[in-house]
Structure formats: C-alpha cells, structure tokens
Structure 1
C-alpha cells in the first residue's frame, strides 16, 4: 500500500510541476509541517497528528524528487545506517552508542 501511495504522490507532484520547483521552498514547507505536527502532539490531537505525519511524508517525497533522489533510496540509506545501531533510552530519547561515549 505504501508503494502505491508513494507513486500516487509522485504522480500528483509531477502533474503540478512540483518535482521541478524550488527545493528551498519545499524545505520551508517541511518546517511548516513539522510545526503543525508539534502543535498536534502538544494538543494530543490524534487526527491532526496523523495528518501532519502524512503531510511530512508527502513533502519529503517531493523534496527528494526535486533533489534528484527517490524517497525509497533515502529511506534505504537511513535504514542501512541505523539497522545495527545500539544505544540507550535516556529520558525517553534514544541516544546512539557513539554519542554515549562523548
């Protein structure tokens, strides 16, 4: 299902020329959506939280396109970096092992 949705997002972006738009503006849009997510979390609004997370996925999918990347390759690169990562939860935040030694 995610693959189908990602392809639909890409098609939607291409139809509107967003894939060739200014990536600086897309980055600003990402920060706007992150702010909306933060507000939704603070208000404990489950629907707005889910909507904001979805909006962020749309925005980063388009940002990747603008930069000549695919969201799939970006996700894979991030996972390859973290898949064996060790660390500890400290005050509810995962701190990677390398940062525990500093």
Structure 2
C-alpha cells in the first residue's frame, strides 16, 4: 500500500471516531507520549516496541494535522525540499548545518 493511501486510511479511521473534532492540545500530548515511548523502547533495546511507537507517532501526527487542517504529506515534502541540498557535517551523531558551523 502506498504511503498516501495509508495516510488517508488513518484520517478516515480518525474521522469515524470523531477524533478530527477533538482538542489538538490533547493530541499534542499524545504525540509527546508516543515520542517518550519510542525513546524508552530504544533505550531498553526493545525493537518491536520501538517499531510500534514509531507507527503510533505517525498516526498521532496525522490526526493532529487533520485536526488543524494541515496537509501532512505537504509538510513532509516541504521539510525534504529544505534539507535535500543542505550542506554540513555530522558531529557526535548529530547533523550540523553548514551555516551553523561558520
């Protein structure tokens, strides 16, 4: 299944449950919760839990975007267009933009 189709399915699932009409503040907390679960699984070396949390994190982001009227795919495309030609270097596992080095 294509990524765009999966996004549509998540959006439909959320709408069927009325999540598109709920408070985005609560969804923001859910995003933070899933992020915490992802890092906890990473730190404990629990790969299956980590994979589950990454998926859950995407679902919560898609629902947040639905609530806020934000196009999730466009956000990803915009972010990539910003980084695709970015120069810099990786220091201690973290990418540093060229303009932040100079």
8 Å contact kept, 2:88–2:95: yes
TM-score w.r.t. the length of structure 2 is 0.94
Aligned residues: 101
Could you tell me which runs of 5 or more consecutive residues in structure 1 were left unpaired when the two chains were aligned: none
Cα RMSD of the aligned pairs, angstroms, is 0.9
Alignment partner of 1:67 is 2:68: yes
TM-score w.r.t. the length of structure 1 is 0.94
Residue equivalent to 2:41: 40
Deviation at 1:3, TM superposition (A): 1.9
Deviation at 1:19, TM superposition (A): 1.2
Query: Which string of whole-angstrom CA distances, capped at 9 and with x for unpartnered residues, describes residues 34-65 of structure 1?
Result: 00001000011110110000000000001111
Equivalent position SS for 1:9? helix
Q: Provide the rounded CA distance (Å) in 1 between the counterparts of 2:34 and 2:47.
A: 15
Residue equivalent to 1:8: 9
Residue equivalent to 2:101: 100
Residue equivalent to 2:90: 89
Could you tell me which runs of 5 or more consecutive residues in structure 2 were left unpaired when the two chains were aligned: none
